[in-house]
Structure 1
Amino acid sequence: MTKRYTEEIFNFTATSDQCIKCGKCIPVCTIHNVNADEVTSPRGFIDLLGAYERGQLELDKTAKDIFESCFLCTNCTDVCPKSLPTDMVIEQVRADIADKFGIAWFKKAFFFLLRHRRLMDFFMKSGYAFQTCGFKIKEQTSSMQPRFSLPLIKKERLLPSMGKKSFLNSYPEMTDNGGKRKVAIFIGCLANYNYTGIGKSLMEILEVLEIDAFIPKKQLCCGAPAYFTGDFATVDHNAKKNIEYFESFIDEVEAIIIPEATCSAMIKIDYEHFFHDQPEWKARAQKLKNKVFMATEWLEQKTHLSELLASRGRRDLTVTYHDPCHARKMQGVYQEPRKLIGQSYAIKEMSDPNACCGFGGVTMQTEKYHFAEAAGKPKAAMIKASGAQVVSAECSACRMQINNSLHQAEAETVFKNPIELIAEALAPNPS
């Protein structure tokens, strides 16, 4: 399923009036499953948004708390017989919330860094140098655990550790792997600074395929963290900078491949949505979207990687695959990573691979972490029950959340991006 783009989504009352109150959204709603209250359900959100637009609901702290409780997982839109875009109308009202109540200082600081690559580079490099002072590093999961409780950060939770050197600063802008084909790589912030093995693995895959890799050095954060929080000024800045930059090289590459579901969905789908009232920028976003792909999507559809993996033999490892909300439900990408991984590894499906892991964005990971923690428990239980040694998903936000959930559940399952698994399968088998 992909998102609909009609002007009615910006009319909260029209969306509310279309809801037939069938309740199909309730059983699949991530927040309702951990906070069983009608107001924090898709039809509750929609009803309140209609009342808000009609002037019958004041946007007070109670309403703010309700609208910030949605995980934006899109499970409701996936089952809704009317395909009502509940997530998109909530994204819109969060901008009103940010305008009225402001944005917490730590979020402002984070979003400021997301606008300025050099400052972020400096901050993350400094963080790497001093992270062992406040955190215990867990190398196997590329995670770190606080040595003591901090504001908004519990001592028992895991966070992604910082890499010694970012992906963007580890490779030249152009890598010649034969010159027959060329793609650009948009890496995403977590893969750039924290889970740097993803980019390394993608470069190894492209080398084997003899496809040139262009790494656009001026790429900025896609803007998703700010978008889901309501900081539309940051989204506007980053989206326009990225679009202008992409236009400068888009005709020279076959595709922009992204090993991150959230970043891909933001650039390919949400840019168009965000610029609904800026026709020029909407058109420019639409023109680029046909060349934007999730990495496994493009590799499976546009290369002979699947056949190459099949020729390399099987690996003695079992994998269970989690479908990121921004991959399967927003972009229809779920078969491609399984087809590639399945050439080399045994896949054991969990009971509900489509269930949201509970990441939910910056607010859910900070002020509302108790909701994220609760939503992560059933996902960790599903992963453990699968019996797989590795859980995989093409999303570093899911990786951060699932690593923490597995840690809380004392599970030994290891998380790897499908790109990392594929690179390992292409390497010489040690046996």
Structure 2
Amino acid sequence: MKNEIFDFTKISDDCIKCGKCKPVCTIFNINQDETTSPRGFIDLLGAYKRGELELDKNAKDIFESCFLCTNCVEACPNDLPTDMIIEQVRSDIAKKYGIAWYKRAFFWLLRNRTIMDIAAKFGWVFQTCSIKINEAKQSAVARFDLGLPLIKNRALPFAKRISFLNKYAENLDNHGDKKVAIFIGCMANYSYTNIGDSLVEILKELKINAFIPKKQLCCGAPAYFTGDFDTVDYLVKKNIEYFESWIDDVEAIIIPEATCSAMIKIDWEHYLHDQPEWLERAKKIAPKIYMATEYLANKTNLKEILEKKGKKFDELVTYHDPCHAKKMQGIHKEPRTLISKNYVLKEMSDPNRCCGFGGVTMQSEKYHFAVAAGLPKASMIKETKAQIVSAECSACRMQITNSLHQAGVDVVFKNPIELIAEAIK
């Protein structure tokens, strides 16, 4: 990754102001404000780097309003990396204004897996006192809002009794010749644990041995999108050192999470662009990173198994393309190919539209933007008349589940890995 990609002035000069980014921009579709359109971001960032714009609270508010959905990058005729330069300026924002205490606490937990395990266990013990759990939808709604508007009438994931990483042995012998590692992601580890259970079942059916690295840490995405580069640095380097101790023993690292996969495969290199030694180490890991459906569709005989042995379901499924899957990794055909073997697949009017998750800041200080972005997606899902909406991303799952709840749409969310496992049981 060349340093020029973070030359804000050059990027600003290269923007031809054609406006193709505006119709696809998630935040611009909400507020119709030119300053928070992609070309507005680029112009302001160029001015900031030239010393013509002070990084005051107004600029901070503007730069934190981007969902980082990368729609603009996909639409831009010059492939300008708007998302990457916003990620960089958020580091400057964090250094100047600090990071809210609850974010710092969350990122500290992400650094400390053992403490996170204990916190999740306490959460599981006490959650029934304060939330109403809906097992079918894998979500919960607070019984009391405690004066906190952010949890009022909001569907959120809940902690499971045992995390995925603590549920299985490190090595699962499925009597096969191949061996893959599973990177599970934090939300699937603690809340949506059926994703990992389903992946284990699929690998068993395929006779592919599984290695579950117990010391894996968060990929760093939540901290990266927030500008906490100290946490990113710690997580990325710890993971790289750990991966290097076993990566030659596995054919691939498969990840049933678009954001985690994109972070490790692509954004680790973006982050390490000015640290050449670590950059080279990250580059050696990247070729072995696969989204789960990408690996299963292209590297195994799962399609044939689903056709010959898989159960057929009448349920209508609609698929949402996570931003970090289709736009960053080009993964969109693979999950559809696998799902359609056993389910009726119905496309929504715009499966590519960002669901509105947007990261930790968007889910906290700017939650009103997340709600505004999510309701159109809920409406699209409703129009399909599907019983199930699927996406290979737990961030999308959390956001879409809440959007469906806010809109009163009765649709269940399942990761494609869960759907596939149900078909081969």
TM above 0.5: yes
1:396 and 2:369 correspond? no
Aligned partners of 1:179 and 1:333: how far apart in 2? Answer: 27
Matching residue within 60, 69, 91 for 1:95: 91
Q: Percent identity?
A: 69
Question: Which residue of the partner structure matches residue 192 of structure 1?
Answer: 189
Aligned partners of 2:10 and 2:164: how far apart in 1? Answer: 45
Query: Which residue type is aligned with residue 363 of structure 2?
Result: Q
Q: Tell whether the 8 Å contact from 2:2 to 2:273 is kept in structure 1 after alignment.
A: no
Question: Which residue of the partner structure matches residue 126 of structure 2?
Answer: 130
Aligned partners of 1:33 and 1:225: how far apart in 2? Answer: 24
Question: Which residue of the partner structure matches residue 44 of structure 2?
Answer: 48
1:250-399 matches, within 5 Å, as 250-311=247-308, 312-399=310-397
Q: 1:87 to 1:152 in 2, by over 3 A?
A: farther
SS at match of 2:179: strand
Unpaired runs of 5+ residues, structure 1, are: none
SS at match of 1:391: strand
- Cα deviations by residue, 1:108-155 (Å, 9 ceiling, x for unpaired): 000000000000000011001001122111111111111222435231
Matching residue within 410, 424, 428 for 2:422: 424
Aligned partners of 1:28 and 1:8: how far apart in 2? Answer: 26
Aligned partners of 1:277 and 1:117: how far apart in 2? Answer: 28
Query: Which residue type is aligned with residue 385 of structure 2?
Result: G
Matching residue within 183, 196, 199 for 1:202: 199
Query: Which residue type is aligned with residue 19 of structure 2?
Result: G
Unpaired runs of 5+ residues, structure 2, are: none
- Cα deviations by residue, 1:162-183 (Å, 9 ceiling, x for unpaired): 1111000000000100031110
Q: Tell whether the 8 Å contact from 1:152 to 1:367 is kept in structure 2 after alignment.
A: no
Question: Which residue of the partner structure matches residue 405 of structure 1?
Answer: 403
Query: Which residue type is aligned with residue 228 of structure 1?
Result: F
Aligned partners of 1:274 and 1:122: how far apart in 2? Answer: 30
SS at match of 1:357: coil
Aligned residues: 423
Aligned partners of 2:184 and 2:150: how far apart in 1? Answer: 26
Q: 1:268 to 1:152 in 2, by over 3 A?
A: farther
Which has the larger displacement, 303-312 or 102-111?
A: 303-312
SS at match of 1:57: coil
Q: Tell whether the 8 Å contact from 1:152 to 1:366 is kept in structure 2 after alignment.
A: no
Q: Tell whether the 8 Å contact from 1:125 to 1:165 is kept in structure 2 after alignment.
A: yes
Q: Tell whether the 8 Å contact from 1:30 to 1:71 is kept in structure 2 after alignment.
A: yes
Query: Which residue type is aligned with residue 166 of structure 2?
Result: N
Question: Which residue of the partner structure matches residue 112 of structure 2?
Answer: 116
Q: Tell whether the 8 Å contact from 2:311 to 2:424 is kept in structure 1 after alignment.
A: no
- How far off is 1:294 after superposition? 0.2
Q: Tell whether the 8 Å contact from 1:198 to 1:259 is kept in structure 2 after alignment.
A: yes
Aligned partners of 1:142 and 1:129: how far apart in 2? Answer: 17
Question: Which residue of the partner structure matches residue 160 of structure 2?
Answer: 163
- How far off is 1:208 after superposition? 0.4
Aligned partners of 1:153 and 1:162: how far apart in 2? Answer: 18
TM-score by length of 2: 0.99
Aligned partners of 1:167 and 1:418: how far apart in 2? Answer: 18
TM-score by length of 1: 0.97
SS at match of 1:243: helix
1:62 and 2:58 correspond? yes
- Cα deviations by residue, 1:42-62 (Å, 9 ceiling, x for unpaired): 000000000000000000100
